[in-house]
């Protein structure tokens, strides 16, 4: 039986019809009216109805959004990029689509897709770390997605790794997101290019050529094995590994899945993360070592996970 998954982003909304094996059988992308919450409800409802009509019979509908979802999976408590505050999204959507809808945090949905159908499908417990604009996360323990007591768990980018460190948008200091996101890597790349350090020479060249440093230039510098850029990747990996060591202390996952834009660096970032992680293990040598692997799904993880979690949630009703 098919389910529908929707992934609401700041610039676009992806909708998909997904089968029980996590395969996308149909998809549609529409522009996100991010700053207009009424328009958002209309656009998402229309997308669900359209996919539903085309699919025929539908089992469940899951909607993922970047924000804090309450424990009842009904209300978006806060969505920094989507102008939502205490938005009763579930009720508003159900009214318009005439069937039950399940709301999920987008990183949790993407993590679930990796656990159920992707890189972690052979494990019983997992933590996912998504290194993109920020650092996102998802936690699966004993085969269950851990949403948190109030619904706002899995925000793994906000583990503090540097005391009195860089200020984070969340209000804390030294969050790992400030050191191991794509944004942080580009910030450090620009600082290195700005400096007179010989290690910044290649980044300076690339910036002069392109006008500015983006993920594209950073990726190129890493492919060229530029020592300055590799050092920045190494430092990002070391900060991430501090958080991973602490996560082992808390929930001792069998595998870490690394996703997001930075994961496109492949082994160039996975290698440094793995070795830094092993040195951050509490009681190293006396415990099994978790695997560290790259994510399988990319942009579609959110819709696949949302669709499957919705199916699973109905099964529990």
Closest approach, Cβ 125 to its own copies, in A, equals 3
Nearest CB to its own copies, comparing residues 213 and 242: 242
Using an 8 Å Cβ cutoff, are 26 and 43 in contact?
no
| Contact between 136 and its own copies per CB under 8 A | no
Which residue from 38, 72, 149, 317 is in contact with its own copies, where contact means CB under 8 A? Answer: 149
| Contact between 152 and its own copies per CB under 8 A | yes
Nearest CB to its own copies, comparing residues 19 and 291: 291
| Contact between 286 and its own copies per CB under 8 A | yes
Q: Give me the residues paired with residue 13 across strands.
A: 8, 30
d(CA 181, CA 137): 12
| Contact between 283 and its own copies per CB under 8 A | yes
d(CA 278, CA 57): 48
Closest approach, Cβ 10 to its own copies, in A, equals 17
Coil, helix or strand for 222? helix
Helix ranges, the chain (H): 37-55, 89-97, 106-117, 177-180, 182-194, 201-210, 215-223, 227-251, 267-279, 301-315
Closest approach, Cβ 142 to its own copies, in A, equals 7
Closest approach, Cβ 127 to its own copies, in A, equals 9
| Contact between 16 and its own copies per CB under 8 A | no
**DSSP-assigned letter for residue 195:** S
Q: How many residues does the chain have?
A: 317
**Which two structure tokens, joined as six digits, stand for 110?**
């993407």
Write each residue from 116 to 135 as x if it is in contact with its own copies (CB under 8 A), else as -, in one continuous string: -------xxxx---------
- Please list, in sequence order, all residues whose beta carbon lies within 8 angstroms of the beta carbon of residue 247, skipping any fewer than 6 positions away: 127, 156, 159, 253, 256
**Which two structure tokens, joined as six digits, stand for 188?**
């450090």
Number of Cβ within 10 Å of residue 122's Cβ equals 8
| Contact between 269 and its own copies per CB under 8 A | no
Per CB under 8 A, which region of 16-24, 143-151, 188-196, 211-219 contacts its own copies? 143-151
Nearest CB to its own copies, comparing residues 25 and 250: 250
Nearest to 78 by CA among 145, 171, 181, 180: 171
Nearest to 293 by CA among 145, 132, 115, 136: 115
Which residue from 35, 212, 223, 284 is in contact with its own copies, where contact means CB under 8 A? Answer: 284
Write each residue from 155 to 194 as x if it is in contact with its own copies (CB under 8 A), else as -, in one continuous string: xxxxxxxxx-x--x-xxx-xx-------------------
d(CA 273, CA 253): 16
Which residue from 97, 139, 276, 304 is in contact with its own copies, where contact means CB under 8 A? Answer: 139
| Contact between 247 and its own copies per CB under 8 A | yes
| Contact between 75 and its own copies per CB under 8 A | no
| Contact between 246 and its own copies per CB under 8 A | yes
d(CA 127, CA 140): 6
**What residues line the site for its own copies (CB under 8 A)?**
68, 77-78, 123-126, 137, 139, 141-142, 144, 146-163, 165, 168, 170-172, 174-175, 242, 245-255, 280-284, 286-288, 290
């Amino acid at each position: 039986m098919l389910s529908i998954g929707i992934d609401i982003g700041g610039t676009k909304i992806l909708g998909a019809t997904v089968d029980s094996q996590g395969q996308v059988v149909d998809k549609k992308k529409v522009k996100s009216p991010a700053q207009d919450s009424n328009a958002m409800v209309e656009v998402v409802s229309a997308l669900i109805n359209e996919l539903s009509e085309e699919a025929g019979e539908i089992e469940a509908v899951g909607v993922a959004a970047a924000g804090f979802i309450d424990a009842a999976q009904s209300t978006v408590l806060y969505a920094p990029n989507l102008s939502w505050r205490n938005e009763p999204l579930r009720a508003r959507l159900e009214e318009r689509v005439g069937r039950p809808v399940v709301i999920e945090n987008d990183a949790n949905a993407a993590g679930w897709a990796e656990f159920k159908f992707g890189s972690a499908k052979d494990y019983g417990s997992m933590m996912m770390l998504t290194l993109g604009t920020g650092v996102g996360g998802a936690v699966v323990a004993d085969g269950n997605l851990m949403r948190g007591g109030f619904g706002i768990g899995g925000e793994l980018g906000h583990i503090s790794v540097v005391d009195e460190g860089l200020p984070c948008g969340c209000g804390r200091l030294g969050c790992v997101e400030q050191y191991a996101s794509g944004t942080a890597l580009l910030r450090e790349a620009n600082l290195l290019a700005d400096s007179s350090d010989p290690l910044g020479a290649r980044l300076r060249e690339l910036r002069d050529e392109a006008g500015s440093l983006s993920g594209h230039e950073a990726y190129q510098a890493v492919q060229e094995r530029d020592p300055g850029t590799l050092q920045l990747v190494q430092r990002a990996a070391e900060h991430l590994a501090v958080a991973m060591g602490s996560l082992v202390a808390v929930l001792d996952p069998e595998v870490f899945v690394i996703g997001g834009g930075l994961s496109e660096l492949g082994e160039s970032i996975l290698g440094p993360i793995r070795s830094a992680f092993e040195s951050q293990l509490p009681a190293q040598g006396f415990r099994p070592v978790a695997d560290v692997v790259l994510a399988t799904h990319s942009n579609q993880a959110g819709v696949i996970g949302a669709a499957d979690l919705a199916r699973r949630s109905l099964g529990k009703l």
